[in-house]
Structure 1
C-alpha cells in the first residue's frame, strides 16, 4: 500500500450542482477524536444524528444528518464519517473547508480525496475485488437499464464468483503438474491417474462459457459505434432520425446538406448503439463539404459497423451505380476485414416494384442486406435485428454481468495459455515444465481481473476514471 493511502481523505460525494441533499465523506484510520470535535458530541456507530454543523466560531453552517461507521465495518474498511446536508455547492464546500481547518490540530495529513480513492481503499482493504470496484463505476455510468442491472450483478460478485471458480480449478490442475515435476522418480503417473487432460478440457469449456458472457457484458457497457455512410441524398440523416425517434439531423432534398457528423446513442434490447450520420461521400469542390467528407472517412475507419446506404430510386442510373461501386471499393480498402458492412437499400416507399424486388441481387456476395423506408419506418425492425447480430449479441440481459474490454482481453489470454497447455498435455512426450508455466501464466491472467495480481499502474488508470467522491 502506497504512503498516500495512509492519509485520511475528505470529499464531496454527490454530483456537482444543486440538490435536495448533498454528502461530504471523510475516510481514514482513527477518526474518533476528529469526529467528536467536529460534531460536538460522540456519535453512536451506524446511527443517524440530526445536529448543526458548526464553523470554528460555533455558528451553524447548516443542519443535517451525521453518520459514523467505525472500520472495518464501512464502505472503505476504514473509519468513515458522512455528513448529509442541504445540497447546495457552497454549503458542501464550506463543510469540506471546515473539515480541513479542524484537521490542522485534530487530524493531521487530512487531504482532499483523489478520483476514485474511496473505492480504491475499499479494494485495498479487501472489501471488494477489482472487478466489483469497476462495476461500481459501470453502475454509475450505465446508459441503459440492462447495463445497470448487469453492473449490479457484477457488483454483487456474480462475475468474480465465475473467475474464482475458474481459478480454483486451474490451481488444482497446477498442483497435479507441480507434483509430477517435484517427484520425477516416482513411477506413478499423477497426470493420467487424476485425469488431468479431462480436467483441462472441462476447464476450457467452462472458460468458453464465461468468455461468451463477458463479451455480452462488454457489449452492454461499451456498445458499438455504427456509422451511416453513402452518397448524398441516400437518406442517411432520415435513417438516423428514424433510428433515434427524433429529428436530430436536418433533412432536405439538397445534396450536401449534412456537412459534419451528427451522433446519437440509441439502445436495442439494452445494447447501446452510438449511431453517427456523416456527410455524403462524393467528389466536391466545396471546401467546407470536403472537410465534412474527410471527417466522414475518419469516422468510418473507427467504426465497429458501417451501414452503407443506397437509394433504390436511383439504382438503375449508371453514374449512381458507379459512384456506389467506388465507395464500396474504398470501404473494402479502409476497413478491417472484421468490421461488418450492412448494405441498406432505402426508399422502398418511393421505389418501383421492380427495384424493390431486385435489391438483393444488386450487391452479389454480400450477406448483410436490408431494404427499408426511413420515411415510413418499414424495415427498421429488420435493420435493428441485423445490427444486434453483427454486434454479436446473443444473451438475454437477465443472465449477463457487466464486463470491460480488459476483462475480455484477459480471458482471451487465459484461453491462449490453456490451448498451449492442451497441446503439451496431449503430446506423446509432454514438456511438463512448459505445461506448468502455461498454467501459471493462465492463473496470472485470471488474477488480474479480480486484482489478486495487478500492477499499481493499472490501478491508477482504473480508479482515475471514477468521480471524486467515489
Structure 2
C-alpha cells in the first residue's frame, strides 16, 4: 500500500451545485477525536444523529445529520464520518474547511486531532474500499459504471456487477483453473511416481470444460461491454441525401438543421440514442463531395476523420437521384474511399432514403426508408443491433468493460496454448504449467487480485471527487 493511503482524507461527496442535501465525507483511522470536535459529542455507530455542526468559534455552520461508521464495518474499511447538511455550495465548503481545520487543532496531549487530513483525490474512497478488501476491482468499476449509466439496462447491469455477479463467474473460472494447475504441478513435483496424475484426473476434459465456461463468460462480457460503451455510428453520403433528417428521425428530435441547400451541414452533429438499452453514438457529418468552399472543405475533412474512427458507417443514398450519372459517380467515389480508409471489419450499411418521394424501384441492395415519415426506421434499428453484435439481453446480464473482454480473450489464448501442449506427444509440462499460470494472472487482473499500481491509477482517476 502506498504511503498516501495511510493518510486520512475528506471531500464533498455530492455533486456540485445546489441541492436539498449535501454530504461531506471523512475517512481514516482514529476519527473519534475529529467527531468530537465537529459534532461536540461522541456518536453511536451507524446511527443518524441530528445536531448542529459548529465552526471553530462554536457557531453553527448548519444543522443536519451526522453518521459515524467505525472501521472495518464501513464503505472504505476505515472509520468514516458523514455530515449530511443542506446542499448549498458555500455550506458544504465551510463544513469541509472546518474538518480540515479541526484536524490540525491540538489536543491536550499536544498532538493534532487528526494528523495529515487532506483532500481526497478522484475515486480515493472507492480505491480504499478495494485496498481494504471491501470490494474487488470489478465491483469498484461497477460503481463508476452505475453512476455513468446512460440507459436503464446499463444501470441494472452495473448494479448486478456491483453485487458481485461478474466477480463470482471469474472466481468460478479461477477455482477450476487452480485445480487444473494443481494437477500439473503435482506431476512436475513427483516425476518418479508411477502415476499419471493428468490422465487419471482427466486433465484434458477439465481443460475443455474450462474453455467452454470461459467462452460463455466471454460472450456475456461482450454483451455487457456493448451495453456500457455502445458503438459509434457515422452517417455518410453526398449532400442532400438526408443525413441530418435521418439523425433527427433516429433521435426523435430536431438536432440538425435540414434545408434543401447542399452543404448545409458544415460540422458534425452527434447524439447518443438507445435501442433496446444499447447506446449508439450517432454522428451526422458534412456531405462528401469536391468543394471550393474553405469552410465546407474543413467540414468534409472532419467527416472523413469521424468515418475512420467509426464502428459502423451508414452510407446514405438518395433514392430519387439513383438514375443520375453524376450522382452515381459521386457514390462510387465515396465507396472507393471508404474501402481505402476503413478497416475490413468495420461494416458499411447501404441505406436508401426518400422512399416517400421516389417513384422508381430500388436498383441496388440495401435498406429502404424515409427519414421524413419514419417508414423503414425499425428495420434500420434492428440492423444496427445486428451489426453491433447485440443479442436479446439475457437474464442477469452484468456490465463489463473493454479491459475485461481483453483479459478474458488473453485467458482463452493461454488455454489454447495449454491444450496444444497437453495434446502434444511427450508434452512439456513446464510449458503447460506456465500457460496455466499466465491464464490465472489474466483472470486475477479482472478482480484486482493481480494488477499493477499503474492500472489502479487509471481506473480510479476516472471517478468523481468524493467517491
TM-score range for the pair, normalised by the shorter chain length: over 0.9
State yes or no: 1:443 paired with 2:448: no
Residue 395 of structure 1 and its aligned partner are, at CA, apart by 3.8
Q: Tell me, which stretches of 5 or more residues in structure 2 are unaligned?
A: 106-112
Corresponding position: 1:146 with 2:153? yes
Q: State the SS of the aligned residue for 1:63.
A: strand
Match of 2:254 in 1: 247
**Which one of the candidate residues 406, 430, 436 is aligned to 2:403?**
406
1:114 counterpart residue number: 121
Shift of 1:429: 1.7
Deviations 1:239-278 (A, max 9, x none): 0000000000000011000000000000000000000000
Q: Can you list the C-alpha shifts for 1:85-139, whole angstroms capped at 9, x where unaligned?
A: 0000100000000001011131110000000000000000000000000000000
Pick from 148, 159, 162: which aligns with 2:169?
162
What is the CA–CA distance in structure 2 between the aligned matches of 1:397 and 1:218, rounded to whole Å? 14
1:376 to 373, 377, 397: 373
Find the counterpart in structure 1 of residue 88 from structure 2.
88
TM-score, normalised with respect to structure 1 = 0.97
Q: Deviations over 1:215-246 (max 9, x none)?
A: 10001110100000000000000000000000
The residue correspondences of 1:382-397 to structure 2 (distance < 5 A) are: 382-396=379-393
Q: d(CA) in 2 for partners of 1:74 and 1:300?
A: 48
Query: What pairs with 1:69-84 in structure 2 (closer than 5 Å)?
Result: 69-84=69-84
Unaligned runs of 5+ in 1: 361-368
Could you say which residue in structure 2 is the equivalent of 1:334? 341
Alpha-carbon separation, structure 2, partners of 1:268 and 1:150: 16
Question: Aligned runs of 1:55-66 on 2, under 5 Å?
Answer: 55-66=55-66
Greater CA drift, 427-436 or 225-234: 427-436
Q: How many residues align?
A: 460
Structure 2 length-normalised TM: 0.98
Distance 1:301 1:217 in 2: 25
Partner of 2:109: none
SS of the residue corresponding to residue 364 of structure 2 reads helix
Using the TM superposition, give the Cα deviation of residue 23 of structure 1 relative to its aligned residue in structure 2, in angstroms. 0.1
- From 216, 233, 258, the counterpart of 1:226: 233
Report the aligned-residue RMSD.
0.7
Secondary structure, counterpart of 1:86 in structure 2: strand
The equivalent of 2:361 in structure 1 is 355
1:369-415 residue CA offsets vs partner (Å, 9 max, x unmatched):
31101010000000000000000001416431000010000000000
Q: Distance in 2 between matches of 1:103 and 1:388?
A: 54
Q: 1:271 aligns with which of 270, 278, 281?
A: 278
Which of 452, 456, 461 pairs up with 1:455?
Answer: 452
* CA displacement 1:179-227 (0-9 Å, x = unmatched): 1111111121111100000000000000000000001000111010000
Output aligned runs, 1:28-47, within 5 Å.
28-47=28-47
User: What is the distance in 2 between the residues matched to 1:329 and 1:400?
Assistant: 40
* CA shift for structure 1 position 315: 0.6
Mapped contact 1:150–1:398 kept (Cα < 8 A): no
